[in-house]
Amino acid sequence: MNQPLTRIGIQDAVALSHRIEALLVERNLRGMAHVRNSMLSGYCLRAALMLQQARGCVLIGTGFPVAGTFETDGPVGAISLYQALEACGAEPVLVCGDPLAGVLEADYRVQRLPLNERDPAVRLQQADDILAEYNPSLVISIERPGQSDDADYYNMRGESIGQHTASFDEIMHRAGCPTIAIGDGGNEIGMGNVRPALKSLDIKAAVTRCNELVVADVSNWGGHALVALLGWLNGRDLLAEFDNMAVLAYLSARGSVDGVTRLNELTEDSLPAADGQAMLLALRQLTEFA
């Protein structure tokens, strides 16, 4: 049963959100603690409430191209969100380009995006077609490359990756429903919300905006945090059966690489899988489910 947000409940919820937001950027691996300081606190709670209110289809964009394949950060959190939303009665769809789309479509609902479509009019029409088909009540982006000022896409090293990238930006722009974005470096969709705070970072910043931005040291962890808060709001431990190691192994067997090391290993942004497990436990403890 959903927990009603009474006056006391709201205070508790906001305090919990603050603790989770601080936990997510505790290591400050890529400057997200600095970015957090520029944001209106409570963003994790506000995003979790969007998840709670979602009905029917929810589009979840993910997949960051690295070394001819896809990185582990993003899809793990997307699958976490997918499973939680499905458990709550929604119909999530993972939206991504190849090779990730081909990897996931045997086990999940997937909408494929074309790679390297440079014509803006074509991209807009594709976005409109997808939105018309699914009529989503919520759109989420987790670790998706975001367009820079020049409409190209860049990785953390400042290298252009446009030719390997499927554009999700137009879907975020034209969604007509609430949008959430999760990122960890400044070059992801949603970072347009905090452009002034990104000027001190060595990054080709993204300009695409969203309704609610969540920042984290690892984007997957931001996805788990929203699942934890959604579970808290609903009185359910939605992370109890999520197996971080199993999902990493599933992706690794299908060609994923670490976004930092570019190696096919069970890591997230060069951090061992045990760190992800520890984050899951900490989130469950904060929401009083562990």
Q: What is the pLDDT of residues 46-59, one digit of tens each?
A: 999 999 999 999 99
**Within a domain: 1:** no
Model confidence at 2: pLDDT above 80: no
Q: Give the pLDDT confidence of 159-168 residue by residue, as tens digits.
A: 999 999 999 9
Q: What is the mean pLDDT of residues 126-140?
A: 98
Mean pLDDT over 88-102 rounds to: 98
The pLDDT of residue 4: 61
- What's the predicted TM-score (pTM) here? 0.96
2 occurs within a structural domain: no
CA atoms within 13 A on the CB side of 22: 7
Residue 248's pLDDT is what? 98
On whether residue 210 sits in a domain, the answer given is yes
Domain, as residue range, for 252: 7-286
Residue 1: per-residue pLDDT: 46
Is pLDDT at 3 greater than 80 in this prediction? Answer: no
247 within domain boundaries? yes
pLDDT at 7: 53
Q: Examine residue 268 and state whether it is found in any structural domain, yes or no.
A: yes
**Average pLDDT of the chain, as a whole number:** 95
pLDDT above 70: residue 263? yes
pLDDT at res. 9 = 83
Residue 155 domain-assigned? yes
In a domain, 219, yes or no: yes
What value does the mean pLDDT take over residues 247-257?
98
Contacts of 220 (CB under 8 A, 6+ apart): 72, 73, 74, 76, 77, 80, 142, 143, 268, 276
pLDDT at 6: 60
Q: What is the CATH number of the domain that holds 180?
A: 3.90.1640.20
Look at the block and give the residue holding tokens 């009540």: 137
Q: What pLDDT was estimated at residue 8?
A: 54
pLDDT digits (tens, 9 = 90+) for 175-191: 999 999 999 999 999 99
Tell me the mean pLDDT in the region 193-222: 97
- pLDDT over threshold 80, residue 42: yes
Q: Which two structure tokens, joined as six digits, stand for 277?
A: 């497990």
Residue 249: is its pLDDT beyond 70?
A: yes
> Total structural domains in the chain?
1
Residue type, 106: A
Classify residue 24: in a domain, yes or no: yes
